[in-house]
Structure 1
Amino acid sequence: MNYIKIYNGTIITPHRTIKNGCIIIGDGKILEVTDKNRQVAGALEINAQGKYIAPGFIDMHVHGGGGHDFMDNTLDAFLGIAKAHASYGTTALMPTTLSCEKQDLLDTLALYDEADGLNDVGAQFIGLHIEGPYFSMTQKGAQDPRYIRNPDPKEYKEILSASSSIKRWSAAPELPGALAFGEYLMSKNILPAIAHTDAIYEEVLEAYEKGFTHATHFYSCMSGVSRRNAYRYAGVIESAYLIDAMTVEIIADGVHLPPSLLKLVYKIKGPDRIALITDAMRASGMPEGDSILGSLKDGIKVLVENGVAKLPDRSAFAGSVATANSLVRNMVNLADIPLQDAVRMISETPASILKIQDKKGSLIKGKDADIVIFDNQINIDTTIVKGNVVYKAKDLSSIFYS
């Protein structure tokens, strides 16, 4: 068995922090989490040098990074994104599509399965998230209006039959046929999520009962309180607050949601119902300037300035350029949230939402050895995916063999 020992750090567990803690890894699994400095013959030893040792970050909504987009439909793009995000502490991510031609989507599905088998250099793929094309045109945001349409059973059944890797699909539940679509997804053990929607409370409640239990990029491209013929109606935002068990995901870059709203979401939903996501596009981790949202072939031109991606006319955001570690940092520094809760929202909570908590999301014996080491400013030192060191900051002095 190949052993790794991580020691001399503060371990963040679901229930407590362990100062001067030690984690023993064997063949990609966590064997022990302890406050004792265990001696393991032949182990690769990693001295955390007083830094935090936390469960790896799980990003359940990411389009790209490092100059690539998953819809470029190349192996280089898939593997490049996985590697780029691993350098920011992401150990598992969910490749996400955009509204597009059906054939482009089918090509992405086929490439996912190929790339998944070759991905040993970065964050692990944990299933596909299809975002669109079944959206409200009035809440399209940066989604390409050429491809937005209502749910078509013939189309979505063909797509779902093409791949067993689809684990989540975001759609507007008020559209004709959307509830039947949600029920069909549930029958395939796929999570229906509410997104790009103008639904009112009564529609959201019915959709929740049909399986739409999660809200995609909460607040972004979704309805709030509206007036129709003088009467006020609660929108999706209020619905997610009213339905206690509904989970939400937030782009905690400090721009999509300012600090006041980050605090409000946390206050009402709590860390067990909130997942932090990057919603990152290809410009994440890249210099600012012109970029493209979606595929290089026919994606939408965007402008990245002041740490955010926008449509060229600056009328809407166009995904984000956030990284996982920056989300944790912002929740702590901008929203005054305890570090342990911020980490939970990007590890344990997304694992629970995606029903992979038996393997990932916390530093517990028997789970995958997905681990990240970072300092007080959430700068990443080491990223470990299933027991493999996939990223190490330039200073290698802390790693040695015993």
Structure 2
Amino acid sequence: MLQNTYKIVGGKIITPYRIIDQGTLLITGDKIAQISEGDIHAPGAIEIDARGNYVSPGFIDIHIHGGGGHDFMDGNETAFLKIAETHARFGTTAMVPTTLTSTREELLNTLDIYKEADKKNTMGAKFIGMHLEGPYFSPDQRGAQDPRFIRNPDPKEYEAIIAHSDVIKRWSAAPELPGAIPFGRYLKSKGIIAAIAHTDAIYEETLEAFENGYTLATHLYSCMSGVTRRNAYRYAGVIESAYLIDEMDVEIIADGIHLPAALLQLVYKIKGTVKTALITDAMRGAGMPPGDSILGNIATGMKVIVEDGVAKLPDRSAFAGSVATTDRLVRNMVQMAHVPLTEAIKMISTTPARIMGIQDSTGSLIEGKQADVVIFDENIDIRMTMVNGHIVYTKP
């Protein structure tokens, strides 16, 4: 057999249907060749002993800005590659690099850099398309997004951006803005996921948005409307709408800080694993020690401070981004929200793969799918990360 044939033995293999204790996972090239309860005869295969740990599908992060001291908005290939390598250490095997609200020139440059970095990315989590977060947001729900660049959807602008690059896979916007509904329809016509974010929409506006392509709620609860009053009358916001619209997908920052345990439990109870994806929404401080940091471009971004496991504005009046890694998301869902491990794994693998439309090639341990595999212990500490059958990280 070829050198790139691996046989993982002695682990608890997490399949979409069950956990196979002491099972065997055979990987040939970049694909899963076979899964068995017993041994698999594979002469010449490189044997990896999982030592009783879990063998899981790789973690897929569909909303991430940075890590390891770098941000995708830094304007260079090194940032992309170092972020991918950093998060692979924590179990991420695929990611959707995400922008921040910026100038059009900076945005186009980031899209161009993505394509070049993607060709060189051999030692980190693979890239599965870009996510544009902004600039079409409600100013009142901007969070840490730069208010200088927030604006309404302009077809001349967004059509030109989409024509410029074919790597855009999702775009987050506030659906109540003038022009946002035609924008959603245009995204849908191009096969791009329209997501609701940084918004003050009420239920009626959210429902109209859903009917016109907005199928995903970006970081549920964060920077979006809940129940509001207008002239003494109550209106359901985006949060309630996401629960009411059964077909709407949601993503949550399960760092244990943006959402406390009770809200993690509520999302799981109502939306379930099939409609909920776990995301890091991580900025450059992920995988780094606490201290001063920058949100966005290293030269022009906003100064923030990383402490208590989260990024904050310097005056500590609000959060300014997450520093989570995907292993932490799974750990929190299991230990804080008391979600069964197999269900938490679906929320970080199967569901995000389905949302991004790549479920036929990755997101679960099934014969014929890409060999995106992680091995972790009872505390969800990562022991090994494999991307497309290539080992990119092993714990020293």
Matches within 5 A, 1:109-148: 109-148=111-150
Which residue of the other structure, out of 196, 200, 203, is the alignment partner of 2:202?
A: 200
Residue of structure 1 in register with 2:183 after alignment:
181
**Cα separation, 2, equivalents of 1:153 and 1:312:** 36
Q: CA shift at 1:300, angstroms? A: 0.7
Which residue of the other structure, out of 3, 6, 18, is the alignment partner of 2:5?
A: 3
Residue of structure 1 in register with 2:169 after alignment:
167
Q: CA shift at 1:208, angstroms? A: 0.2
Residue of structure 1 in register with 2:97 after alignment:
95
Which residue of the other structure, out of 57, 60, 74, is the alignment partner of 1:58?
A: 60
Q: CA shift at 1:73, angstroms? A: 1.4
Which residue of the other structure, out of 286, 292, 295, is the alignment partner of 1:293?
A: 295
Q: Residues 1-34 of structure 1, C-alpha deviation per residue, up to 9 Å, x if partnerless?
A: 4311111000001111100011111110001111
Matched, 1:308 2:307: no
Q: Residues 26-81 of structure 1, C-alpha deviation per residue, up to 9 Å, x if partnerless?
A: 11000111111113111111100000000000000000000000000111100000
Q: Residues 168-198 of structure 1, C-alpha deviation per residue, up to 9 Å, x if partnerless?
A: 0000000000010011001110000000000
**Cα separation, 1, equivalents of 2:192 and 2:321:** 23
The one-letter amino acid of 2:372's match is D
Residue of structure 2 in register with 1:246 after alignment:
248
- SS of equivalent residue, structure 1 residue 82: helix
Q: Residues 336-383 of structure 1, C-alpha deviation per residue, up to 9 Å, x if partnerless?
A: 100000010000000011110000100001100000000000000000
The one-letter amino acid of 1:70's match is F
**Cα separation, 2, equivalents of 1:33 and 1:211:** 38
Q: How many residues align?
A: 394
Which residue of the other structure, out of 351, 362, 365, is the alignment partner of 1:363?
A: 365
**Cα separation, 2, equivalents of 1:249 and 1:263:** 14
Residue of structure 1 in register with 2:82 after alignment:
80
Residue of structure 2 in register with 1:224 after alignment:
226
Q: TM-score, normalised by structure 2?
A: 0.99
**Cα separation, 1, equivalents of 2:299 and 2:178:** 31
The one-letter amino acid of 1:259's match is A
- SS of equivalent residue, structure 1 residue 282: coil
Q: TM-score, normalised by structure 1?
A: 0.97
Which residue of the other structure, out of 151, 154, 160, is the alignment partner of 1:149?
A: 151
**Cα separation, 1, equivalents of 2:297 and 2:218:** 21
**Cα separation, 2, equivalents of 1:347 and 1:335:** 18
- SS of equivalent residue, structure 1 residue 345: helix
Residue of structure 2 in register with 1:318 after alignment:
320
- SS of equivalent residue, structure 1 residue 343: helix
**Cα separation, 2, equivalents of 1:111 and 1:144:** 22
**Cα separation, 1, equivalents of 2:190 and 2:35:** 36
**Cα separation, 2, equivalents of 1:122 and 1:73:** 19
Q: Show structure 1 runs of 5+ residues with no match.
A: 395-402
Q: CA shift at 1:315, angstroms? A: 2.0
Residue of structure 2 in register with 1:399 after alignment:
none
Residue of structure 2 in register with 1:261 after alignment:
263
Which residue of the other structure, out of 165, 189, 192, is the alignment partner of 1:190?
A: 192
Which residue of the other structure, out of 20, 26, 30, is the alignment partner of 1:28?
A: 30
Q: Residues 213-265 of structure 1, C-alpha deviation per residue, up to 9 Å, x if partnerless?
A: 10000000000000000000000000000001111000001110000000000
Q: CA shift at 1:96, angstroms? A: 0.2
**Cα separation, 1, equivalents of 2:364 and 2:202:** 36
Q: CA shift at 1:319, angstroms? A: 1.3
Residue of structure 2 in register with 1:398 after alignment:
none
- SS of equivalent residue, structure 2 residue 348: coil
Q: Residues 75-127 of structure 1, C-alpha deviation per residue, up to 9 Å, x if partnerless?
A: 11000000000000000000000000000000000000000010001000000
| % identity of equivalent residues | 64
Matched, 1:282 2:284: yes
The one-letter amino acid of 1:137's match is P
- SS of equivalent residue, structure 1 residue 285: coil
**Cα separation, 1, equivalents of 2:139 and 2:316:** 18
Q: Show structure 2 runs of 5+ residues with no match.
A: none
**Cα separation, 1, equivalents of 2:314 and 2:211:** 39
The one-letter amino acid of 1:250's match is I
- SS of equivalent residue, structure 2 residue 322: coil
**Cα separation, 1, equivalents of 2:366 and 2:141:** 41
